[in-house]
Chain A
């Protein structure tokens, strides 16, 4: 259930050349149960709220960790008005041991909470970064994560091996390129795995979300179940159920 609450920025930290991490003390204890896939809509001074993506919790300090590219500067002590949680948590399939996270020429933040949670659950995680995703400071990631860097925006080395190895795949790219980047992967996968299990290939839609409740219809995704708002039914959708045309 979405709520309006406040948080205090307790700490800001720069990650690599172009990223920052904010430690947030949240007022509403319900937000401590936010799950990978869910986000917060933060009032940062612009007219519409900004999507803030949690990447985990610092249990020692009791703060939520938010990451996004450098841009606006935040000061410790700043109070931020938040709406959230927004969206449906990512659903890991039963029995997943090998998780493949693929970020095609996009900011990888949306998948990092899932990455950290999967490692806690002792899953083997491979992270593919292509295009601008390669700029993410991978030194901040846990060493157990296998990181594959792709030189082309749409593909990566050992693509077939990694797709065969995985029990579940999460794909992330700019929504406007989802069709041209997801369709080739469906084609490749269909050759490797004739019967693609339901939920095996998840496409993550990181779209602007003015309302966070599905009312504004700005983040609608066309699926075989109709037009669904990414802020309520997403951000992840089974790629095989997307209607690209």
Chain B
């Protein structure tokens, strides 16, 4: 078992370090039962909920571009109470813990939403999604609001480019774990409508940036760090674990190649039965997959994978 929150009375343990990121399986993860074995996962984070209902965004919502896509949905949901009423019976039967992603809009909304989730069956924890412009003071207030009437494990999802800036405030205010990170926002032109569309950007390229942020955060964090962004293979996930992440969340691979998600979960959970080459069953352990060149890498060469030591202006 892996403890993905700070130790304590209300800590959250999962069986596998591979989780599903918010929004990737909607509110009813059982829809994915025909595509992958959900029980092989560690936990699932639902789509975003808010205190009041939210409609879907108007106009173009999706822009494809080389290597990824931009998505702007408006985070539609029926409001926390209706969501709980409709999906709580499903969450109760889930073979893995369900965490509800809560939009951190304002303190009152967060407080009442967290209170509603506290009493909801099948909710194992809350993931609080901070908006990109949140300040450390606001982060503190939002977490305190969530904590006021709710004792569920509280994960705080940080915006990628402000993760370092907000992490300490989140930890000090009582977050049980940090999720790094929400994908950044971008703007791209929709070919069909000819309009510029703003939204969150996704793709495999995200991993390099999130990995750096995780590597920078982990040495300073006293609470678990969960990595989220751009995982498309077991090696991607292992890179995050090597950088110090306690667990990982898989995002859009869930949509593009759902069976691959199960393979990653089996792999990191030591459950992978077969490999592509038809090799015998094995279990991953640190060191597997290392090449001859890796082991002969000169030990005295400097390595700054996550630091700011490289001051050169070269690309």
Q: Tell me the minimal C-beta distance from A159 to chain B in angstroms.
A: 26
Q: How far is the CA of A222 from the CA of B75 in the complex (A)?
A: 14
Give chain B residues whose Cβ lies under 8 Å from the Cβ of A46: 64
Stretch at the interface among A90-98, A150-158, A187-195, A210-218: A210-218
Q: State A3–B25 Cα separation when bound (angstroms).
A: 15
Q: Which of B186-221 contact A (CB under 8 A)?
A: 192-193, 203-204
Does the CB pair A47–B193 fall under 8 Å?
A: no
Give the distance in Å from the alpha carbon of A44 to the alpha carbon of B117 in the complex: 41
Known interface pairs A47-B203, A215-B255, A216-B255. Does A176 touch B62 (Cβ–Cβ under 8 Å)? no
Which residues on A sit within 8 Å (CB–CB) of B257? 4, 43, 81
Return chain B residues, CB-CB under 8 Å to A213: 25-26, 31-32, 255
Q: In the assembled complex, how far is the CB of residue B257 from the closest CB belonging to chain A, in whole angstroms?
A: 7
How far is A12 from B61 in the complex, measured between Cα atoms in Å? 32
B residues less than 8 Å from A212 (CB atoms): 255
Whether B62 and A208, one on each chain, are in contact in the complex, defined by CB atoms closer than 8 angstroms, is yes
Given A47-B68, A215-B23: A4 in contact with B258 (beta carbons within 8 A): yes
Residues of A close to B313: CB separation below 8 A = none
Chain A nearest CB, measured from B265 CB (Å): 15
**Docked-complex contact A83 and B71, CB < 8 angstroms:** no
Residue ID in chain A nearest B258 by CB atoms: A4
- Which A residues lie within 8 Å of B66 (CB)? 47
A215 partner residues in chain B, CB cutoff 8 A: 23-26, 31, 47, 254-255
| CB within 8 Å for A227 and B31 given contacts A4-B259, A218-B73 | no
Contact A3:B61 (CB < 8 A) given known A215-B255, A227-B55: no
Task: For A47, list chain B residues within 8 Å (CB).
Answer: 64, 66-69, 203-204, 256
Q: Within the assembled complex, what's the spacing in Å between the Cα atoms of A169 and B71?
A: 32
CB-CB < 8 A to A48: which residues of B?
64, 69, 255-256
Residue-wise, chain A 2-16 has the 8 Å CB interface mask toward B (1 for contact) of 111000000000000
Task: Specify which chain A residues have a CB less than 8 angstroms from the CB of B71 in the assembled complex.
Answer: 210, 216, 218
B34, B69, B76: the one within 8 Å of A220 (CB): B76
Contacts of B32 in A (CB 8 A): 213
Residues of B close to A4: CB separation below 8 A: 35, 257-259
Q: A4 CA to B258 CA in the complex, in Å? A: 8
Q: Which residues of A contact B193 (CB under 8 A)?
A: 176
The verdict on B56 contacting chain A, using a C-beta distance below 8 Å, is: yes
Are B35 and A3 within 8 A (Cβ)? yes
Q: Shortest beta-carbon distance, A64 to chain B, in Å?
A: 19
A31-48 contacts to B (CB < 8 Å): 43, 46-48
Q: Indicate whether B78 reaches chain A with its CB closer than 8 angstroms.
A: yes
Least CB distance from A46 to B in Å reads 7
A217, B62: Cα distance in complex, Å: 10
A174 at the interface (CB under 8 A from B): yes
User: Which partner residue on chain A sits nearest B82 by CB separation?
Assistant: A226
Chain A CB within 8 A of B184 CB: no
Q: Does A110 contact B (CB under 8 A)?
A: no
Of B31, B203, B259, the residue contacting A2 (CB under 8 A) is: B31
Are B64 and A216 neighbours in the complex by a CB distance under 8 Å?
Answer: no
Residues of A contacting B56 in the complex (Cβ-Cβ under 8 angstroms): 217, 220, 222, 227
State the CA gap A217–B258 with chains docked (Å). Answer: 17
Q: Closest approach, in angstroms, between the C-beta of A85 and any C-beta of chain B?
A: 11
By beta carbon, the residue of chain B nearest A47 is B68
* Contacting residue for A216 out of B35, B60, B73, B192, CB 8 A: B73
A215–B253 Cα distance when bound, in Å, is 13
Once the chains are docked, how many angstroms separate the CA of A78 from the CA of B216?
44
Instruction: Identify which of residues 12-58 in chain A touch chain B, using a CB-to-CB cut-off of 8 Å.
Output: 43, 46-49
Do A2 and B35 touch across chains, with their CB atoms under 8 A apart?
yes
Asked if B289 is at the interface of the complex by the 8 Å CB criterion, the answer is no
The 8 Å CB contact of A227, one of B35, B60, B76, B256, is: B76
Cβ–Cβ < 8 Å partners of B307 in chain A: none
Q: How far is the CA of A185 from the CA of B62 in the complex (A)?
A: 28
Compute how far the CA of A47 lies from the CA of B69 in the bound complex, rounded to whole angstroms.
8
Q: A47-B203, A210-B256 are in contact. List 18 more A-B contacts (CB 8 A).
A: A1-B34, A3-B35, A4-B35, A4-B259, A48-B255, A83-B35, A83-B258, A176-B60, A208-B62, A208-B64, A210-B252, A216-B26, A216-B73, A216-B255, A217-B23, A218-B73, A222-B56, A226-B78
Could you pull out 17 A-B pairs where Cβ atoms are within 8 angstroms? A43-B256, A47-B66, A47-B68, A47-B69, A47-B203, A47-B204, A48-B256, A49-B256, A210-B256, A213-B32, A215-B23, A217-B26, A217-B74, A218-B62, A218-B73, A220-B56, A220-B73
Where the two chains meet, the residues of A that have a C-beta atom closer than 8 Å to any C-beta of B are: 1-4, 43, 46-49, 81, 83, 174, 176, 208, 210-218, 220, 222, 226-227
